[in-house]
């Protein structure tokens, strides 16, 4: 299994092509999956995590491939690849290998084939947290956005994060990159505010479905954010 996340910027007069990509890519992938077992086309938030404010200049595409070869062939022949090169101002892609995963995404387990593998001491780690928010709980959930939308950048070992979503207000996810597993766990398990948010999530039963996955970072390409320079 080979996973890619592409983050694309469409600025100025090109903004409309970001919106259009949601429809155009969906039609193309309905006709030809190019070796994908799972995919999501998503908008992004402004603050790097769950966010009610969308970034209309930035869009994200998560693709799960049967093999890296399928992805390479897709780059050569697909109209989607040509679309990104023609209409974006810039984009980058990170290459991932799933190591641990539990939960569901639209009643599927897209990363379940390579689960529960340990990480090396100095190996960068990529974390995906996603949830479907119950419609009746959405108002309460978004009242707590200031607590949930952690400022990852203040934490040691943080590299990058992005908030992504399929359906505004209801289907949300965060992908974050950390220098190693120890720095990720220091934030996830030892930050009081984060622990309180997790407790409140359970108590209030905000989610109808959730998924948590960890990946190895195999590589990347394109115009990378400056924070990637902190990778070992």
pLDDT tens digits, 37-89? 999 999 998 877 766 778 999 999 999 999 999 999 999 999 999 999 999 99
CA end-to-end distance (rounded Å), the chain:
24
Q: Considering the domain 2-221, what is its CATH architecture?
A: 2-Layer Sandwich (3.30)
pLDDT of 197 > 90? The answer is no
Q: Mean pLDDT over all residues of the chain?
A: 88
Has this prediction a pTM greater than 0.95?
Answer: no
Helices (H), 36-89: 68-77, 79-87
**Where residue 153 falls among pLDDT bands split at 50, 70, 90?**
low
Residue 33 scores a pLDDT above 90? yes
pLDDT value of residue 113: 58
């Amino acid at each position: 299994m080979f996973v890619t996340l592409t983050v694309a910027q469409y600025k100025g007069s090109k903004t409309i092509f970001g919106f259009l990509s949601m429809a155009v890519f969906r039609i193309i992938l309905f006709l030809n999956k190019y070796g994908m077992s799972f995919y999501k086309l998503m908008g992004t938030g402004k603050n790097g995590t769950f966010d009610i404010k969308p970034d209309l200049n930035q869009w994200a595409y998560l693709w799960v491939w049967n093999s890296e070869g399928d992805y390479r062939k897709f780059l050569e022949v697909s109209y989607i690849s040509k679309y990104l090169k023609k209409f974006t101002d810039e984009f980058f892609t990170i290459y991932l290998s799933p190591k641990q995963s539990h939960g569901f995404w639209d009643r599927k387990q897209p990363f379940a084939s390579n689960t529960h593998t340990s990480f090396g001491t100095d190996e960068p780690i990529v974390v995906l947290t996603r949830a479907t928010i119950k419609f009746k709980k959405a108002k309460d959930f978004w009242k707590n956005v200031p607590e949930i939308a952690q400022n990852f950048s203040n934490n040691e070992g943080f590299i990058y994060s992005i908030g992504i979503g399929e359906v505004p207000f209801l289907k949300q996810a965060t992908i974050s990159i950390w220098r190693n597993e120890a720095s990720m766990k220091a934030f996830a398990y030892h930050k009081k505010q984060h622990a309180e948010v997790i407790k409140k999530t359970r108590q209030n039963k905000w989610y109808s479905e959730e998924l948590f996955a960890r990946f190895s970072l195999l590589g990347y390409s394109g115009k990378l954010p400056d924070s990637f320079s902190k990778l070992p």
